[in-house]
Chain A
């Protein structure tokens, strides 16, 4: 059974159709990159998968790990193992990082029928992860993303993923706006998440990330449809030739 199966997905916002028939299958153990120019529907796809209000799915189905994803609330998707990494992680100044991490983990454990995590084990694990993401412990007691630089916010997204160990990680432009050092740390984090049990979707505007995280499949999204799929060489072609040639070829 596929981890994620999107069939003929059509979605609109404010009556405007953005996704026009997307078909995509992702199996555990695979890393997929979805690339596309601005306005191609990349963010809409992430939002629809995340369950954000305001998008209407007019046709098609999404099956995640055997569940009808479109019937699930955002938080149900999360505890079922689908985690969305935000393009613009939200600043929440009054809520401490450490608190959010713990509550998220416990929400997932509760859904799995497990007891709450014990504080000692949790703190130990979190500290190790913080160090591995080249972050400072002090960050744990600051507000969620509050006053973080762009790079810090993206590291924080990966940190959450590493802790929550989703079945499917959906990373929306996690590489945008990162300097090369932050990109390396973030990429290493993503590579650590790779595994037999886990699917990863990298939604990205730039080919650069794919030099650090090698995808198994690359898809080109254009005007709300996947117009071409291939292996990592497709990403190199995009980098070398730009979108235009591939768009023409596909049409």
Chain B
């Protein structure tokens, strides 16, 4: 079923890794057995890893610190954690009180243990976890973000994944995020291609949010014609904790992003918001799994995809409500817009409910632009093109509006409009 690990990947397996020795050794053995997921794995029906399989990627050699992102996010005094082709460039100088940042390689044994022991634990039965196992076996770079109890970190913590700086490089970075009780922080992933080179990043973020703490996590996949990424985020929430995720994917050859959320304490709340806009031949794929393991917990999930050209968008959202988790409210919606005959969208909600006192709903729509709405706008004097553009932008705007940082929200609004503007130009050229 699974594809065997390609030889170039086997030989790239390092002798030493950031994971504690016992964990790394097991992972190395498992990685060989597990191989890479193939199309016959249920979770990989719509997305294949052929580009990785054939990629001949090699480990990063480090290209120096003079590479800067070309896209500037409008953030107030951010704390930048820069990874160039997966190589960590070090922690910033002035770090606010209550926050500790350290390179994973410098972390003590217990911390490294935590970084490689996510909740929920990956299982070897799950084909997705072949990639996590591979990361565990191969991770040498990473960062640890610790927020002390009661600390409120106002400055956004920005992980810059700058991919594609050198030829055909792969990376397996690992990030650990721990929020102490009643603390709060904002983590932003700034994902950008800094060269024309093909690249593959297989990154894993392991986060734990203690009681009454709140983590806002925004991922911005901004561009990339030849960028491949397999990204995994684990989140565990204790009582009254809150996790707000906003996942925006605007580019990449093949991006597979997965969230595993373990809602383990009563009163905890999760928001998973997402916008994917595949175009060209891009494949943008997000899978989410929320486990409500405690009573009186809530989750709200809202994903939108706009697929153009021969782009493909995939969304699969699983919600599992455990037997003792009563009085749960879980809401999921997946709305999808197809703009071209060659575009494709696959959307699949999955609910598994074992408790009986649960309010759970989901809805998925896939469609073209609403003819009624187009007629309405035209009847107010707007040109067809403008009306179309307005409806598409409006469709995206509803999820952009849920970004909690105002400047970033405005910036992204413009960025999305700009993207759609390029679409009009491209159409004109064709015509």
Which residues of A are in contact with B by a Cβ distance under 8 Å? 50-53, 73-75, 77-79, 83-84, 86, 89-95, 99-100, 103-104, 107-108, 111, 143-144, 160, 164
Does the CB pair A93–B398 fall under 8 Å? Answer: yes
Interface hit among B98-106, B142-150, B380-388: B380-388
Q: How far is the CA of A89 from the CA of B372 in the complex (A)?
A: 9
Residues A53 and B377 in contact in the complex (CB < 8 Å), given A75-B383, A143-B394: no
Residues A104 and B394 in contact in the complex (CB < 8 Å), given A86-B376, A90-B376: no
**B371: A residues at CB distance < 8 A:** 53
Q: Which one of B381, B387, B395, B398 has the highest number of Cβ atoms from chain A below 10 Å of its Cβ?
A: B381
- The digit string for B368-407, where 1 denotes a CB below 8 A from any CB of A, is 0011110111111111101100110111111000000000
Does the CB pair A92–B381 fall under 8 Å? Answer: no
**What residue in chain B is nearest A106 (Cβ atoms)?**
B381
Does the CB pair A108–B373 fall under 8 Å? Answer: no
**B398: A residues at CB distance < 8 A:** 93-94, 143
Q: How far is the CA of A16 from the CA of B398 in the complex (A)?
A: 39
Contact of A50 among B379, B384, B390, B395 (CB under 8 A): B379
A73-B384, A92-B394 known; 20 other A-B pairs, CB under 8 Å? Answer: A50-B379, A52-B375, A78-B381, A84-B379, A86-B376, A90-B370, A92-B373, A92-B376, A93-B398, A94-B396, A95-B390, A99-B390, A103-B382, A107-B380, A107-B382, A107-B383, A108-B381, A143-B394, A143-B398, A164-B381
Does the CB pair A89–B379 fall under 8 Å? Answer: no
Does the CB pair B396–A75 fall under 8 Å? Answer: no
Q: Which one of B370, B378, B390, B396 has the highest number of Cβ atoms from chain A below 10 Å of its Cβ?
A: B378
Does the CB pair A53–B375 fall under 8 Å? Answer: yes
**What residue in chain B is nearest A78 (Cβ atoms)?**
B381
Shortest beta-carbon distance, A195 to chain B, in Å? Answer: 20
Shortest beta-carbon distance, A72 to chain B, in Å? Answer: 11
**A104: B residues at CB distance < 8 A:** 380-382
Does the CB pair A92–B377 fall under 8 Å? Answer: yes
Q: How far is the CA of A86 from the CA of B376 in the complex (A)?
A: 8
**What residue in chain B is nearest A89 (Cβ atoms)?**
B376
Q: How far is the CA of A143 from the CA of B373 in the complex (A)?
A: 12
Does the CB pair A103–B386 fall under 8 Å? Answer: yes
**What residue in chain B is nearest A104 (Cβ atoms)?**
B380
Q: How far is the CA of A22 from the CA of B273 in the complex (A)?
A: 52
Does the CB pair B379–A92 fall under 8 Å? Answer: no
Residues A79 and B381 in contact in the complex (CB < 8 Å), given A94-B393, A94-B395: yes
**What residue in chain B is nearest A81 (Cβ atoms)?**
B381
Does the CB pair B394–A78 fall under 8 Å? Answer: no
Shortest beta-carbon distance, B181 to chain A, in Å? Answer: 38
- The digit string for B48-71, where 1 denotes a CB below 8 A from any CB of A, is 000000000000000000000000
**B379: A residues at CB distance < 8 A:** 50-51, 74-75, 77-78, 83-84, 86
**A52: B residues at CB distance < 8 A:** 375
Q: How far is the CA of A53 from the CA of B374 in the complex (A)?
A: 11
Q: How far is the CA of A99 from the CA of B384 in the complex (A)?
A: 16
Q: How far is the CA of A73 from the CA of B377 in the complex (A)?
A: 12
**A74: B residues at CB distance < 8 A:** 375, 378-379
Write 18 A-B pairs (CB below 8 A) sorted by A numbering.
A51-B378, A74-B375, A75-B387, A77-B379, A78-B379, A78-B380, A89-B376, A90-B372, A92-B373, A92-B376, A94-B395, A95-B377, A99-B390, A100-B377, A100-B380, A143-B398, A164-B380, A164-B381
Q: How far is the CA of A113 from the CA of B395 in the complex (A)?
A: 32
Q: How far is the CA of A160 from the CA of B391 in the complex (A)?
A: 19
Does the CB pair A160–B394 fall under 8 Å? Answer: no
Q: How far is the CA of A248 from the CA of B284 in the complex (A)?
A: 65
Residues A93 and B394 in contact in the complex (CB < 8 Å), given A78-B381, A103-B382, A103-B386: yes
Residues A90 and B380 in contact in the complex (CB < 8 Å), given A95-B391, A103-B386: no
Q: Which of B339-394 contact A (CB under 8 A)?
A: 370-373, 375-384, 386-387, 390-391, 393-394
**What residue in chain B is nearest A101 (Cβ atoms)?**
B380
Shortest beta-carbon distance, A88 to chain B, in Å? Answer: 8
Shortest beta-carbon distance, A152 to chain B, in Å? Answer: 16
**A75: B residues at CB distance < 8 A:** 378-379, 381-384, 387
Q: How far is the CA of A75 from the CA of B384 in the complex (A)?
A: 8
**B393: A residues at CB distance < 8 A:** 94-95
Shortest beta-carbon distance, A49 to chain B, in Å? Answer: 10
Does the CB pair B394–A95 fall under 8 Å? Answer: yes
**B377: A residues at CB distance < 8 A:** 92, 95, 100
**A94: B residues at CB distance < 8 A:** 391, 393-398
**B397: A residues at CB distance < 8 A:** 94-95
Q: How far is the CA of A107 from the CA of B379 in the complex (A)?
A: 11
**B387: A residues at CB distance < 8 A:** 75
Contact of A160 among B370, B375, B380, B395 (CB under 8 A): B380
**A91: B residues at CB distance < 8 A:** 373
**B370: A residues at CB distance < 8 A:** 90
| Top 3 closest pairs, chain A to chain B, by CB | A94-B394, A107-B381, A78-B381
Residues A78 and B376 in contact in the complex (CB < 8 Å), given A94-B396, A103-B386: no
**B382: A residues at CB distance < 8 A:** 75, 100, 103-104, 107
Q: How far is the CA of A84 from the CA of B387 in the complex (A)?
A: 16
**A103: B residues at CB distance < 8 A:** 380-382, 386, 390
Shortest beta-carbon distance, B126 to chain A, in Å? Answer: 36
Q: How far is the CA of A125 from the CA of B394 in the complex (A)?
A: 25
**What residue in chain B is nearest A108 (Cβ atoms)?**
B381
Q: Which one of B376, B380, B387, B390 has the highest number of Cβ atoms from chain A below 10 Å of its Cβ?
A: B380
Q: How far is the CA of A141 from the CA of B391 in the complex (A)?
A: 16
**A111: B residues at CB distance < 8 A:** 381
**A164: B residues at CB distance < 8 A:** 380-381
**What residue in chain B is nearest A76 (Cβ atoms)?**
B381
Shortest beta-carbon distance, A38 to chain B, in Å? Answer: 21
Q: How far is the CA of A91 from the CA of B376 in the complex (A)?
A: 9
Q: How far is the CA of A42 from the CA of B375 in the complex (A)?
A: 18
Shortest beta-carbon distance, B107 to chain A, in Å? Answer: 44
**B378: A residues at CB distance < 8 A:** 51, 73-75, 78
**A89: B residues at CB distance < 8 A:** 376
**B394: A residues at CB distance < 8 A:** 92-95, 143
**What residue in chain B is nearest A107 (Cβ atoms)?**
B381
